[in-house]
Amino acid sequence: MIENELLFLGLLKDGPKHGYEIKRVIEEELSAFVGLKIKSIYYPLKRMEKLGLISKDVGREGKWPEKFVYSLTSKGEKIFEHLITESFLTIERPYFKLDLSLYFIQYVDKSMAKRQLGGRIRFLKRIKRNIANLKVKIKPTQKHLLVIIDHDLDLVDAEIKSLDRLVKVIA
């Protein structure tokens, strides 16, 4: 739940937002960069409101129905700072599903393994192109997304390099 809190509190750092706006930013902007799947935004918002991290006000624009507008509280601001610091300092060893298969590679037909790994490399190169294409779609107000894109490109490049090396050593 820490990622959800960081996500929602971070989105409210910009200023008050109504639920639909929060959902839109998550779906249209963040989903391409962050692996979080949010089923409902209202449950976490309600929970954070109970904890005093955010406040909820009723807003209205023109003839449209009332909307709940969420804002960051000073307590939410402090929790956000704590979560950001914790996120920067948390280092975990990455685990890949592929590693389990590689553990048993001695039992796999070598030509089949080379074909499968070659297919994985081609797929990773396609992912790399898709990530690189995101770069040209970045608006001037979204320069912070370039850091994520470059990080993702570095990770994909590292996996491609590792798999290329592996394919060469498979006897």
40-86: pLDDT as tens digits: 888 999 999 999 999 999 876 777 778 889 999 999 999 999 999 99
Residue 171 banded pLDDT, cuts 50, 70, 90: low
Rounded distance, CA 108 to CA 111, Å? 9
The pairing of strands 17-18 and 67-72 is: antiparallel
Q: How far is CA 74 from CA 21, 49, 51, 102, 105, in A?
A: 22, 12, 12, 49, 54
The whole-number pLDDT of residue 84 equals 94
Fold of 2-89: Arc Repressor Mutant, subunit A (1.10.10)
Q: What's the whole-number mean pLDDT along residues 121-130?
A: 96
- Contact call for residues 166 and 99 (beta carbons, < 8 A): no
Is residue 109 over pLDDT 80?
Answer: yes
Contact 70, 19 (CB under 8 A): yes
Q: Which two tokens stand for residue 90?
A: 């948390």
